[in-house]
Amino acid sequence: MADKYGKVFLICLGIHRALVISSWEVAKECFTTNDKVFSTRPKFLAVKLMGYDHFMLGFAPYRSYWRDVRKLATVELLSNHRLELLKHVHDTETNFFIKELYAECVKSGGLVAVQMKERFGDLAMNIIVRMIADTIPFLGWLDVVNGYVSKMKKTATELDYVLRNWVDAHCQRRFNQNISEEDQDFIHVMLSAMDDGNISSKDVNTVVKANCLNLILGGNDTTVVTPTWALYLLLYNHHVLKKAQDELNLHVGKRRQVDESNIKNLIYLQAIVKETLRLYPAAPLSAPRESMEDCTVAGFHIPAGTHLFVNLWKMHRDPSIWLNPLEFILERFLNDHANLDVRGLHFKCLPFGSGRRKCPGISFALQVLHLTLARLLHAFELGTVLTQ
Ligand code: HEM
């Protein structure tokens, strides 16, 4: 559609107007001049039913509740300082995800996730499924007749069962003042913030469960999909794979395992991750935003209530910015775009979004992506596996 209608166009999704942009200049305008205007998210029936009625940080309306939880997430949960403190909960065998969340998710929530996938497809995992009620509200009864509403309610009950057990167990240990170092995880931090009155909501259980769920959903698929694409690209580009392994052997050697302190020296590996995020951003349309008041974008009048989609896929493949945009050429991040940072300030490459609602998990995600890929390439001869 971007090829046909251009880098900025409006479409109608049922009763909603949606602005679709695929130009970095326009993205810059949206996330600087108009950032505050586009700081809320549209509401979805799926999030209402399965996401604690928009209590999840990622879907909360732009109000004081969102600001409090966002601050908690960036300062307390996902900051470099906190990640350092939470190192003890990294599973050293998989060093893949926060142990408490991930292990529990695989054990019990994983089942729910599989069910959600089966019922609603991959998009359900990002809980941005658009039901008929979201686009044409007066036909919302069709969602009921088709059985989607009852299926979503069932999934919500199952998810809630898992999350409630975690929170109850933490509350019990806090009540007994029996908190070991191992227990000082995300749930513990959130419960402490609620005790200190740092969140403008009194509903402790809902806040903690909703945001626990959000961190699992926001951080799980994204950090699995990206290394998968990186591997795919490396297996089709053996010379790059070989160079990455040479870099690892040079800076880490063959007798030690890669650790966090090595990553800063692995410049080639960092460029592989950037190029993967450029070609295959985990959220190709970013996450939808909604304008809170009238504004002007690229000279067009945009009324309040317009949804905004940033077509990262198209933007990241713009031939006027990227030479041979469809090719995996990580050297671009060592030469022409060497200073390009993917954290949301360089608008030509925005895999984590930008502005005040950009991804709060960037540091955590990059840490996980670099370490996972580095350990995989260091420990396995992937080329040999393929040719056998
Ligand atoms: C490869 C990894 C990841 C990618 C590519 C990614 C990408 C994104 C994008 C594009 C957005 C929308 C930003 C916007 O609206 O401008 C977002 C939002 C979000 N992400 Fe991530 N993400 C990743 C990992 C994570 C991780 C590890 C976590 C947490 C553990 C996380 C939690 C969130 C949350 C809570 C939001 C919503 C923020 C808000 O609405 O205020 N993400 N992410």
Q: What is the mean pLDDT of residues 105-121?
A: 42
Q: Where residue 82 falls among pLDDT bands split at 50, 70, 90?
A: low
CA of 172 to the centre of ligand 1 (A): 31
53 pLDDT more than 90: yes
Taking only the tens place, the pLDDT of each residue in 126-163 is 435 678 888 888 888 988 888 889 988 998 999 999 99
110-119, 225-234, 349-358: segment of lowest average pLDDT = 110-119
CA angle, corner 125, sides to 124 and 128, nearest 5?
50
Taking only the tens place, the pLDDT of each residue in 254-275 is 889 999 999 999 999 999 999 9
Residue nearest to atom 8 of ligand 1 (CA): 352
370 pLDDT more than 60: yes
**Which residues line ligand 1 at a C-beta cut-off of 6 Å?**
57-58, 70, 214-215, 218-219, 222-223, 226, 281-283, 286-287, 289, 351-355, 357-361, 364-365
The answer to whether 328 and 236 are in contact (CB under 8 A) is yes
Residue nearest to atom 35 of ligand 1 (CA): 58
Mutate to test the pocket of ligand 1, among 82, 352, 354, 371 (most ligand atoms within 8 A of CB): 352
Among candidates 202, 248, 268, 166, which has minimal Cα distance to 55?
202
Helices (H), 327-379: 362-379
CA of 218 to the centre of ligand 1 (A): 6
Q: Where are the beta strands (DSSP E) in the chain?
A: 8-13, 16-21, 289-290, 295-297, 300-302, 307-310
Closest ligand 1 atom, residue 220 Cα: 27
Give the model's pLDDT for residue 111: 41
Q: Is 359 annotated in some ligand binding site? A: yes
Give the model's pLDDT for residue 132: 85
CA dist., res. 166 & res. 172, Å (int) = 10
Residue 289's SS3 state is strand
User: Model's pTM, two decimal places?
Assistant: 0.88
